[in-house]
Amino acid sequence: MRKYIIKRVLLSVLILFFVGFIIYCLMRCLPTSYIEQMARQRSMQPGSKSFEEWMAQLSATYGMDKGLILGYFGWLGNVVRGNFGDSWYFTVPVVEKFHDTVWLSFVMGFISFFFELIIAIPLGIIAATKQYSKTDYTVSIIALAGISLPTFFFASLLKLVFAVKFKWFDLYGLVGRMYDQLTPMGQLLDKANHLVLPIVTLVVCSMGGLMRYTRTNMLEVLNADYIRTARAKGLSERRVIYHHAFRNTLIPIVTIIGGTLPGLFSGALITETLYSLPGIGFTSYTAMRSGDIPFSMFYMVFLAILTLTGNLLADILYAVVDPRVRIS
Amino acid sequence: MARKNADGYLSAKESRRISRENRKVTNVFEKQRKRKNVPESEYLCEMKDISNVIEVEDLHTYFFTDVGTVKSVDGVSFSVPIGKTIGVVGESGCGKSVTSLSIMQLLQRPQGQIVSGEIRMNLGSKAYDIVKTPNEVMQHLRGNEISMIFQEPMTALNPVFRIGAQVDEVLALHNPDMSKHDVRQRSVELLDLVGIANPERVYKMYPHELSGGMRQRVVIAMALACDPKLIIADEPTTALDVTIQAQILDLLRRLKDRINSSIMLITHDLGVIAEMADYVVVMYSGRIVESGTAEEIFNNPAHPYTKGLMASKPVVGRKVDSLYSIPGKVPNPVNMPDYCYFKDRCELCVGKCAGEYPPEIKLSATHTVACYRYVDKEGETNG
Sort strands B279-284 and B262-267 into parallel, antiparallel or unpaired: unpaired
A236–chain B Cβ distance below 8 A for any pair: yes
pLDDT at B206 over 50: yes
Sheet bearing B112-122, strands edge to edge: B44-45, B127-129, B112-122, B52-65, B68-81
pLDDT at B378 over 60: no
The mean pLDDT of A253-269, rounded to a whole number, is 82
Closest partner residue to A234 among B143, B156, B159, by Cβ? B143
CB < 8 Å from B in window 194-233 of A: 224-226, 228-233
Distance CA B113, CA B115 (A): 6
pLDDT at A64 over 60: yes
Among the ranges given (A244-248, B33-37, B300-304), the one the predictor scored with the smallest mean pLDDT? B33-37
Q: Is residue A11 part of a domain?
A: no
pLDDT at B5 over 60: no
The mean pLDDT of B159-172, rounded to a whole number, is 92
Domain coverage including residue A261: 99-292+309-321
Residue A314 C-alpha from the chain's centroid: 16
Q: What is the pLDDT of residue B377?
A: 66
Q: What is the pLDDT of residue A118?
A: 92
Q: Which of B282, B277, B280, B216 is nearest to B245 (CA)?
A: B216
The mean pLDDT of B199-217, rounded to a whole number, is 91
Region of B13 please: left (phi>0), alpha (psi -120 to 50) or beta: alpha
Distance CA B88, CA B65 (A): 25
pLDDT tens for B271-311 read 888 888 999 999 988 889 899 999 999 998 888 888 888 88
CB < 8 Å from B in window 145-174 of A: none
Crossing angle (nearest 10°) for helices A2-29 and A293-321? 150
Q: Would you say B117 and B60 are in contact if contact means Cβ atoms under 8 Å apart?
A: yes
Q: What is the pLDDT of residue A328?
A: 55
CA distance B332 to chain A (A): 25
Distance CA A125, CA A214 (A): 6
Among the ranges given (B144-153, B271-280, B312-321), the one the predictor scored with the smallest mean pLDDT? B312-321
Distance CA A59, CA A296 (A): 18
- What percent helix, strand, coil does chain B show, rounded to 5? 40, 20, 40
Q: Is residue A68 part of a domain?
A: no
pLDDT tens for A186-220 read 888 888 888 899 999 989 988 888 999 999 999 99
pLDDT tens for B241-254 read 888 888 888 888 88
Q: Is residue A16 part of a domain?
A: no
Cβ–Cβ pairs < 8 A, chains A and B: 71
Would you give the DSSP letter of residue B175? -
A317–chain B Cβ distance below 8 A for any pair: no
pLDDT at B164 over 90: yes
Q: Would you say A191 and A277 are in contact if contact means Cβ atoms under 8 Å apart?
A: no
Q: Is residue A328 part of a domain?
A: no
Q: What is the pLDDT of residue B135?
A: 86
pLDDT tens for B38-83 read 888 888 888 888 889 999 999 999 998 888 888 888 889 999 999 8
- The verdict on a CB contact (< 8 Å) between A323 and B159 is yes
CA distance A257 to chain B (A): 19
Percent of all residues in chain B with a pLDDT value above 70, rounded to a whole number: 96
Percent of all residues in chain B with a pLDDT value above 90, rounded to a whole number: 23
Mind giving me the DSSP string for A182-229?
Answer: S-HHHHHHHHHHHHHHHHHHHHHHHHHHHHHHHHHHHHHHHTSHHHHH
Q: What is the pLDDT of residue B249?
A: 87
Residue A68 C-alpha from the chain's centroid: 29
- The verdict on a CB contact (< 8 Å) between B150 and A323 is no
Would you give the DSSP letter of residue B357? P
The mean pLDDT of A119-132, rounded to a whole number, is 90
The mean pLDDT of B195-203, rounded to a whole number, is 91
pLDDT at B374 over 50: yes
Q: Would you say B271 and B337 are in contact if contact means Cβ atoms under 8 Å apart?
A: no
- The verdict on a CB contact (< 8 Å) between A232 and B158 is no
Sort strands B262-267 and B230-234 into parallel, antiparallel or unpaired: parallel
Q: What stretch of H or E contains B116?
A: strand B112-122
Instruction: Name chain B contacts of A251, Cβ cutoff 8 Å.
Output: 160
- The verdict on a CB contact (< 8 Å) between B148 and A322 is no
Most confident stretch, A30-34, A173-177, B329-333, B370-374: B370-374
Q: Is residue A44 part of a domain?
A: no
The mean pLDDT of B173-182, rounded to a whole number, is 91
ipTM of the complex: 0.84
Q: What is the pLDDT of residue A3?
A: 86
Among the ranges given (A58-67, A113-122, A160-169, B107-116), the one the predictor scored with the smallest mean pLDDT? A58-67
Instruction: Name chain A contacts of B222, Cβ cutoff 8 Å.
Output: 229, 233
pLDDT at B36 over 90: no
Q: Is residue A191 part of a domain?
A: yes
Q: What is the pLDDT of residue B41?
A: 85
Distance CA A279, CA A265 (A): 10
Q: Would you say B306 and B289 are in contact if contact means Cβ atoms under 8 Å apart?
A: yes
Total structural domains in chain A? 1
Probe site for chain B from A135, A222, A227, A229 (most B CB atoms < 10 A)? A229
The mean pLDDT of A155-160, rounded to a whole number, is 91
Instruction: Name chain A contacts of B208, Cβ cutoff 8 Å.
Output: 323-324
CA distance B133 to chain A (A): 14
B147–chain A Cβ distance below 8 A for any pair: yes
Q: Is residue A74 part of a domain?
A: no
- The verdict on a CB contact (< 8 Å) between A226 and B158 is yes
Q: What is the pLDDT of residue A327?
A: 59
Q: What angle do CA B295, B296, B301 make, to 5 degrees?
A: 120
Cα–Cα distance list, B371 to B110, B328, B343, B348, B362 (Å): 34, 19, 10, 10, 10
B157–chain A Cβ distance below 8 A for any pair: yes
pLDDT at B2 over 60: no
Please name every residue paired with B279 in a beta bridge, in sequence order, or none if there are none. Answer: B86, B293
Residue A13 C-alpha from the chain's centroid: 21
Q: What is the pLDDT of residue B7?
A: 58
Please name every residue paired with B234 in a beta bridge, in sequence order, or none if there are none. Answer: B266
- The verdict on a CB contact (< 8 Å) between A233 and B219 is no
Crossing angle (nearest 10°) for helices B212-224 and B180-193? 130
Q: What is the pLDDT of residue B6?
A: 52
* Mean pLDDT computed over every residue of chain A: 87
Q: What is the pLDDT of residue A314?
A: 86
Distance CA B36, CA B258 (A): 38
Distance CA A205, CA A263 (A): 14
Cα–Cα distance list, B253 to A231, B79, B159, B246 (Å): 25, 19, 28, 11
The mean pLDDT of B205-225, rounded to a whole number, is 90
Distance CA B219, CA B221 (A): 5
pLDDT at B1 over 50: no
Instruction: Name chain B contacts of A224, Cβ cutoff 8 Å.
Output: 155
Q: Is residue A17 part of a domain?
A: no
- A183: domain CATH number is 1.10.3720.10
- The verdict on a CB contact (< 8 Å) between B142 and A231 is yes
Instruction: Name chain A contacts of B143, Cβ cutoff 8 Å.
Output: 232-235
Q: What is the pLDDT of residue A169?
A: 87
Cα–Cα distance list, B356 to A71, B299, B330, B344, B369 (Å): 91, 29, 18, 14, 15
Please return the burial class of B269, using the count of CB atoms within 10 Å of its CB with bins 0-12, 13-18 and 19+: middle
Please return the burial class of B285, using the count of CB atoms within 10 Å of its CB with bins 0-12, 13-18 and 19+: buried
* Mean pLDDT computed over every residue of chain B: 86
Q: N- to C-terminal Cα distance for chain B?
A: 41
CA distance A120 to chain B (A): 23
pLDDT at A227 over 70: yes
Please name every residue paired with B265 in a beta bridge, in sequence order, or none if there are none. Answer: B87, B233
pLDDT at B3 over 80: no
Mind giving me the DSSP string for B185-210?
Answer: HHHHHHHHHTT-SSHHHHHT--GGGS
A247–chain B Cβ distance below 8 A for any pair: yes
pLDDT confidence of B382, banded at 50, 70, 90? very low
- The verdict on a CB contact (< 8 Å) between B158 and A247 is yes
pLDDT tens for A81-103 read 888 888 888 888 888 888 888 88
